[in-house]
Each structure stands twice: as structure tokens, then as C-alpha cells.
């Protein structure tokens, strides 16, 4: 942390800043120039959380210069994390694909979807049994019944299951019926939920919040890891911007940012990221070329009849086409050793 003093700050003001820093066991260094005086803080940033240095007299503002997360940080853990889910590796040499409908709507729908997903070559079936919806009058999910249909689909196809958990009470059933528990964008800073999920030790996929910075996102992962769960997968799903043509703005550069700052794997969700099925293919290809560890895509047997997010879902035919391209592209990048990421 660096503290910038006002031009009119007095020597006593600076002394108080230094005493405050030293009071929490940190070291202060002064840099003094003709125009400005700066005080630098050396040591563990987390200790500064207990003082509001900006509120001291003579302080203009302060600038944070170190990260507030550790377990999620690549500095702390230089080797990339590979998460092994019964033989399916996330973060390894080959990208994984998670596909399926936005919501589990019926036994028939999810079993039909699972067949399509399996045949196209994805490793995971996705589908929400608990749906966080903007309006209380929209379809809210089949809940426990939906989870059971997912489990049945797993049994029939061998696909792994990733599904969202939205409440603390939902953790038990979701943990029982799934392979990866998903934290949705709206719950990225539902810290109570993060802590409870983190106590389970089961792999978690953490979607980026609607308007979360990368720093906040990695801090949210830190909440989970700090409780004991190291297997956290990050999922970029678009951020909220002024642009209205797309549902969100897919932040493709988050792949490179996360790879640089963290050892955790990252997958990209072009369905939520754009809101338009037409854009899934180019954005899926782009994510693979950028070095993402996987994709999450919405696929529905009949998008026009989907109870949720049909306009951002692929048909079976589109899905097969996207998968064919994704597989070729991933193999080429791997075989040619193209290594998009610069750590």
C-alpha cells in the first residue's frame, strides 16, 4: 500500500500515518519530493484492513499495490492446478466441454439432451435444478426432482454432472447428485454460501459475478479455498457493460488474466457471455485458441420450447458442428505446441 499525502500535509500528519502503520506491526517508508510526500507500507497487506488510513488528516488517498488473495494466487502456487474428476482432467492438456440445457425441465428433456451431449463428445452434462431468475414469476427449477433426473442421465451416459447450488440447504442434495457444484454469477459474493460449499471438499465451478472484477473473483475463490476445497474451476460468463447488442460482454482476456494471476483452471461460457446462439461457435473457437481449459455451452433438444435461455442454446445439429470444430482446433493447438498463454 502506498499513501499519498495532501500537498499541505504537516509533519505531524505524516507522523500519525507512520504511527498508525507501525501500530499494526508493519513498516513505513517515506518518500519526499518537492511536490508530494508518499508513505509506503511494507508487509502483509491484510493487516491494513483494520485501519482506515484514508480517513487520517493530511491523507489525499491510498493505493493498494498487492493482492489480497493467496491460496488462489500463482505466486503462492506456481504450478497450474489440474482437477481430476474420476479420470476427466480439467486444467490439463485437453480442454473439457460442459454442455446441456439451461434448466432441467423434465425427465424426457434431460435424458434426450444427455444423449445429444454424449454423442457430440462433451464430458459433462450441465442443467439447472435450482434456477435464480430475475422475476419471481419465471420458472424456478424442478429442484430435487431435477437433480434425480440428472443422476439418471449420468447413469445412462457416463457423463459427469455439473449443476448449480443456490442455497446452503441445497448443498447436500447437489453434492450428492453432482460431480461439480456450480456457484452462479449472482451468488459469487454470497459469502455464506461460498464458505459452506468450501467445507465440502467437492470440486466447485465458480462463475464470475455479473460485474465482478478479476480481483473480486479470485477473492471469492479464496473464500472457498480457505475452507479447505482446493479444486476450484473459474468460469468466465460475460460481464455487464453498456453494450446492449449482446446479453453480456464476454471478457475473453479474462482467460489470459486468470492464467497469469492464478493457478486455477478457467472455462468460458459463450452462451451466457453473448446471449445469442449464433455467437457460440466463434466464441467457443476463440476461447480454445486463447488457452481456456474448457467450455460451457447451452444445448437444448428444442431451443424454441426451452423454459429458460432458449435463444442462447444450440440445437443438436449446431452443437455437433461446434464440437467437431472445437476438437480439431484443440488438437491442432496441442500438437503444434502453440501455447497461447504467456505466464
Q: How far is the CB of 165 from a copy of itself (least distance, A)?
A: 10
Q: Which is nearer to a copy of itself, 159 or 188 (CB)?
A: 188
Q: Does 144 bind a copy of itself (CB under 8 A)?
A: no
Residue bearing cell 476450484:
232
How far is the C-alpha of 5 from the C-alpha of 31, rounded, in Å? 10
Q: Does 290 bind a copy of itself (CB under 8 A)?
A: yes
- Which one of 80-88, 115-123, 147-155, 309-317 is the stretch in contact with a copy of itself (CB under 8 A)? 309-317
| Angle, alpha carbons 77-81-86 (nearest 5°) | 150
Asked if residue 92 binds a copy of itself (CB under 8 A), the reply is no
Smallest distance from the beta carbon of 9 to a copy of itself, in angstroms? 12
CB 94 within 8 A of CB 334: yes
Residue in 43, 94, 111, 112 binding a copy of itself, rule: CB under 8 A:
43
Residues 6+ apart with CB under 8 A from 163: 104, 126, 127, 128, 129, 147, 150, 174, 177, 178, 181, 182
Nearer to a copy of itself, 107 or 327 (CB): 327
Contacts of 246 (CB under 8 A, 6+ apart): 238, 273, 274, 275, 276, 279
Site for a copy of itself in 187-226 (CB under 8 A): 187, 189-193, 209-211, 213-216, 219, 222-223, 226
Binding residue for a copy of itself, selected from 25, 55, 79, 317, defined by CB under 8 A: 55
Residues in 313-342 at the binding interface with a copy of itself, rule: CB under 8 A: 313, 318, 325, 328-329, 332-333, 336, 338, 340-342
Cell of 8: 499541505
Stretch that binds a copy of itself, among 68-76, 85-93, 114-122, 144-152 (CB under 8 A): 68-76
Question: Which of residues 9, 306, 316, 323 is near a copy of itself by CB under 8 A?
Answer: 306
Q: How far is CA 259 from the centre of its chain?
A: 12
- Are 116 and 299 in contact by the 8 Å Cβ rule? The answer is yes
Residues 1-40 that bind a copy of itself (CB under 8 A): 2, 4, 7, 20, 27, 29, 31-36, 38, 40
Shortest reach from residue 146's CB to a copy of itself, in Å: 16
What letter would DSSP give residue 199?
A: T
Q: Which three cell numbers stand for residue 100?
A: 446441456
Of 106-114, 118-126, 150-158, 244-252, which part binds a copy of itself (CB under 8 A)? Answer: 244-252
Residues 162, 147: Cα–Cα separation, whole Å:
10
SS3 250: coil
Amino acid at each position: 500500500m502506498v499513501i499519498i499525502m495532501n500537498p499541505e500535509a504537516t509533519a505531524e500528519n505524516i507522523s500519525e500515518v507512520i504511527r498508525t502503520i507501525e501500530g499494526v506491526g508493519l513498516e513505513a517508508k517515506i518518500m519526499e519530493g518537492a511536490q508530494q510526500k508518499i508513505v509506503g507500507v511494507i508487509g502483509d497487506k491484510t493487516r491494513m484492513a483494520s485501519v482506515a488510513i484514508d480517513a487520517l488528516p493530511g491523507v489525499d488517498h491510498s493505493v493498494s499495490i498487492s493482492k489480497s488473495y493467496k491460496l488462489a494466487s500463482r505466486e503462492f502456487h506456481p504450478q497450474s492446478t489440474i482437477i481430476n474428476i474420476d479420470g476427466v482432467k480439467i486444467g490439463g492438456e485437453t480442454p473439457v466441454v460442459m454442455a446441456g440445457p439451461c434448466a432441467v425441465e423434465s425427465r424426457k428433456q434431460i435424458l434426450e439432451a444427455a444423449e445429444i451431449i454424449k454423442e457430440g463428445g462433451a464430458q459433462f452434462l450441465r442443467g439447472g435444478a435450482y434456477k435464480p431468475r430475475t422475476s419471481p414469476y419465471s420458472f424456478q427449477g424442478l429442484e430435487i426432482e431435477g437433480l434425480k433426473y440428472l443422476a439418471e442421465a449420468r447413469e445412462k451416459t457416463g457423463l459427469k454432472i455439473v449443476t448449480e447450488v443456490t442455497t446452503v440447504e441445497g448443498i447436500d442434495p447437489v453434492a450428492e447428485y453432482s460431480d461439480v457444484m456450480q456457484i452462479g454469477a449472482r451468488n459469487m459474493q454470497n459469502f455464506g454460501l461460498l464458505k459452506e460449499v468450501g467445507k465440502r471438499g467437492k470440486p466447485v465451478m465458480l462463475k464470475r459475478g455479473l460485474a465482478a472484477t478479476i480481483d473480486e473473483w479470485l477473492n471469492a475463490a479464496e473464500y472457498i479455498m480457505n475452507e479447505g476445497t482446493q479444486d476450484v474451476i473459474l468460469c468466465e460468463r460475460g460481464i455487464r457493460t453498456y453494450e446492449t447488442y449482446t446479453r453480456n460482454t464476454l471478457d475473453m482476456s479474462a482467460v489470459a488474466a486468470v492464467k497469469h494471476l492464478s493457478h486455477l483452471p478457467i472455462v468460458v461460457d459463450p452462451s451466457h457471455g453473448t446471449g445469442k446462439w449464433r455467437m457460440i461457435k466463434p466464441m467457443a473457437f476463440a476461447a480454445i485458441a486463447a488457452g481456456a481449459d474448457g467450455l460451457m455451452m447451452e444445448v437444448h433438444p428444442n431451443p424454441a420450447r426451452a423454459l429458460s435461455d432458449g435463444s442462447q442454446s444450440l440445437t443438436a445439429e449446431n452443437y455437433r458442428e461446434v464440437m467437431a470444430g472445437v476438437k480439431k482446433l484443440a488438437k491442432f493447438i496441442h500438437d503444434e505446441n502453440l501455447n497461447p498463454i504467456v505466464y
